[in-house]
Chains A and B, each alone.
Chain A
């Protein structure tokens, strides 16, 4: 092999393996999320317009209407700008802002927020270093379809200099999408928190098939036309192939 070819090959190899991962781990542990079959309901994956500071006694919350049953995961766009130990980030899910008690309460150490690049929903890559979605998972809430919820976050151990930041949008479409309001220290505000909700799909393969079939027969004229054209095409392929074989022989 000529020298210049070797040089090109080595350059290509270096180009390929150059990690350039900016501190992010390449190999992770292996743990599939539970429940496995989940789908996004409220989704806003763009970079938030700005960030709210969360520390001390402050709280930041959002109400929303979940469209589907089995709500099981809520992702919130957070960043911990200085990678500092800001204590715990505490997540509360309630039926409404006036509820006396939480439906779900979860905690995460703020220093671990960046390790949660969720397997199902990676944030847009140009947001790397500017925060990411952290996903709070819980047992699916069966009767969550078209039901109003409220969640809020607090970080009582953090101070202003090691605050946690929560992303938000000023876009009114985003606000309407959630069909809810954002809250700061319990007061409604004119912005919309950057968050996502997920529900889990429950059923078996026959349920899935039944829904497909029911949706197909809703417009029976089109379905018959469609199947007829497909059958005609298949027949045409076989007939032409048969004739070709005769001619080739």
Chain B
């Protein structure tokens, strides 16, 4: 028995090493141009005591941020990034100068990623990029360990952990592109699931609320979680308040300082790609209908004290439906992956469908050089910016517009099929109160 435990522990250690190594291989050498702006505003807090990024962006970069109506992500993203920058600053002294020169250069006109890299070149470039991505490593590994505690069966534990260490969307969003705010959301979602297993319903809702204060997405999970976890109307209402009040409290200082403009960070104009899906606008109504259906299901299951599904399966259903009915970028898809990993450990077919989803999401991004080989621009700016990508070979032959439409439709169908699988084979939680060993 002891040997079995030891083997299990060693396997976990081995996969931890493999996971960290894979992440290390890309961390210092790749980035997306967004990483500059994402880190520049929080640096104003670290360096200049700017507590309101929205007022600062409006005052200094009005021509750029007002037309886009997206000055920055919600306030908690700003504070967390500032916190991590404060720590990184002591490890990488040149970080401050680099971000300050970015601000000055951006005021003069900015440009595409190649110009970012060339204009802001410094001998410590790789060190800086590495430091800016370190929060992703910390939070992502924390997610991996929390997921381990969500599964009771050892074989499934190892499968979930392996899937997490090889999580392609997280590798892409967190380590290749360096979109740390997306990882904050992921962390808070997994934290919510972790607290559920620890039977702390208030903390589940609090985590979702904090997640929504980094990027609004987890807000769609607040209502289902409150209905699922509350045993009566009073409890449901109390939990709902736990899910909404912290978000409001975090927003109040920014709202008092910048007014309604701060709220624009809550409602980005689009969360996805411009992937030729405008013809499918009716799909948002399909999402609202299916979301309502799930809420009713949760309510009825809760009422008879026998939920139809586990909370994680409900979360998976909602997130899958959300992305099925919305144009989606790979980096947003990471929010589905923790629940998907838990489900794939029980239903392997979903893993194959996930790979199809990932491939179609990649095809939806093929028009953007900077999101593919172009992310290696820091290594050799002009060479990696000029390399042909999949699009270079497809586009002369077949209309990219057609590829986008086809990819998106395959994505929708596969996602709906996954929803069907989860709905059909999703296991019942039994008594919600006693399902503390496995979600």
Chain A 220-231 interface 0/1 with B at a Cβ cutoff of 8 Å (1 = within): 001100100110
A101 is an interface residue with CB less than 8 A from chain B: no
How far in angstroms is the closest Cβ of chain B from A224?
Answer: 12
Residues in chain A near residue B112, CB distance under 8 A: 40-41, 43
Residues in chain A near residue B7, CB distance under 8 A: 244, 247-248
Residues in chain A near residue B6, CB distance under 8 A: 247
A1 is an interface residue with CB less than 8 A from chain B: no
Complex: chain B residue closest to A19, CB-CB: B402
The answer to whether B14 touches A208 (Cβ under 8 A) is no
The answer to whether A125 touches B401 (Cβ under 8 A) is yes
The answer to whether A30 touches B114 (Cβ under 8 A) is no
Docked pose: A67 CA to B387 CA in angstroms: 19
How far in angstroms is the closest Cβ of chain A from B439?
Answer: 29
The answer to whether B123 touches A218 (Cβ under 8 A) is yes
The answer to whether A230 touches B24 (Cβ under 8 A) is yes
A54-62, A83-91, A153-161, A209-217 - interface stretch: A209-217
The answer to whether B67 touches A201 (Cβ under 8 A) is no
B11 is an interface residue with CB less than 8 A from chain A: yes
Residues in chain B near residue A200, CB distance under 8 A: 386
Total interface residues on A, CB under 8 Å, equals 73
The answer to whether A39 touches B114 (Cβ under 8 A) is yes
Chain A 198-210 interface 0/1 with B at a Cβ cutoff of 8 Å (1 = within): 0111010001100
Complex: chain B residue closest to A192, CB-CB: B109
B267 is an interface residue with CB less than 8 A from chain A: no
The answer to whether B25 touches A125 (Cβ under 8 A) is no
The answer to whether A208 touches B380 (Cβ under 8 A) is yes
Residues in chain A near residue B367, CB distance under 8 A: 121-122
A74-82, A103-111, A175-183 - interface stretch: A175-183
How far in angstroms is the closest Cβ of chain A from B383?
Answer: 4
Q: Pick from A24, A175, A226, A237: contact of B24, CB below 8 A.
A: A226
A138 is an interface residue with CB less than 8 A from chain B: no
Complex: chain B residue closest to A217, CB-CB: B123
A98 is an interface residue with CB less than 8 A from chain B: no
Docked pose: A35 CA to B51 CA in angstroms: 49
Residues in chain A near residue B399, CB distance under 8 A: 21, 24-28, 117
Docked pose: A68 CA to B118 CA in angstroms: 10
Known: A119-B396, A222-B126, A240-B17. A37 touches B386 (CB 8 A): yes
The answer to whether A237 touches B111 (Cβ under 8 A) is no
Docked pose: A27 CA to B413 CA in angstroms: 24
The answer to whether A215 touches B379 (Cβ under 8 A) is yes
Docked pose: A120 CA to B25 CA in angstroms: 28
The answer to whether A67 touches B109 (Cβ under 8 A) is no
The answer to whether B109 touches A175 (Cβ under 8 A) is yes
Instruction: Please report which residues of chain B, range 331-387, place their CB below 8 angstroms from some CB of chain A when the two chains form the complex.
Output: 367, 369, 378-380, 382-383, 385-387
Chain A 238-249 interface 0/1 with B at a Cβ cutoff of 8 Å (1 = within): 001101100110
Q: Pick from A21, A43, A199: contact of B402, CB below 8 A.
A: A21
How far in angstroms is the closest Cβ of chain A from B384?
Answer: 8
A38 is an interface residue with CB less than 8 A from chain B: yes
A7 is an interface residue with CB less than 8 A from chain B: no
The answer to whether A40 touches B413 (Cβ under 8 A) is no
The answer to whether A40 touches B369 (Cβ under 8 A) is yes
Docked pose: A215 CA to B29 CA in angstroms: 11
A3 is an interface residue with CB less than 8 A from chain B: no
How far in angstroms is the closest Cβ of chain A from B406?
Answer: 7
Q: Pick from B24, B123, B406: contact of A219, CB below 8 A.
A: B123
Q: Pick from A28, A40, A243: contact of B10, CB below 8 A.
A: A243
Chain A 4-47 interface 0/1 with B at a Cβ cutoff of 8 Å (1 = within): 00000000100110111100111111111100111111110000
Known: A25-B399, A27-B397, A124-B274. A244 touches B24 (CB 8 A): no
Chain A 110-136 interface 0/1 with B at a Cβ cutoff of 8 Å (1 = within): 000000011111101110100000000
Complex: chain A residue closest to B106, CB-CB: A173
Known: A24-B399, A24-B401. A41 touches B115 (CB 8 A): yes
Query: Known pairs A21-B399, A244-B11. 8 more at Cβ < 8 A?
Result: A16-B413, A20-B405, A28-B398, A117-B400, A203-B383, A218-B123, A233-B17, A240-B13
Q: Which 5 A-B pairs have the closest CB atoms?
A: A176-B109, A119-B395, A39-B385, A201-B386, A177-B109
A interface with B by C-beta (< 8 Å): 12, 15-16, 18-21, 24-33, 36-43, 67-68, 117-122, 124-126, 128, 171-179, 199-201, 203, 207-208, 211-212, 215-216, 218-219, 222-223, 226, 229-230, 233-234, 236-237, 240-241, 243-244, 247-248
B interface with A by C-beta (< 8 Å): 3, 6-7, 10-11, 13-14, 17-18, 20-21, 24-25, 28, 63-64, 67, 106, 108-112, 114-115, 118, 123-127, 130, 274-276, 278-279, 367, 369, 378-380, 382-383, 385-388, 391-392, 395-402, 404-406, 409-410, 413
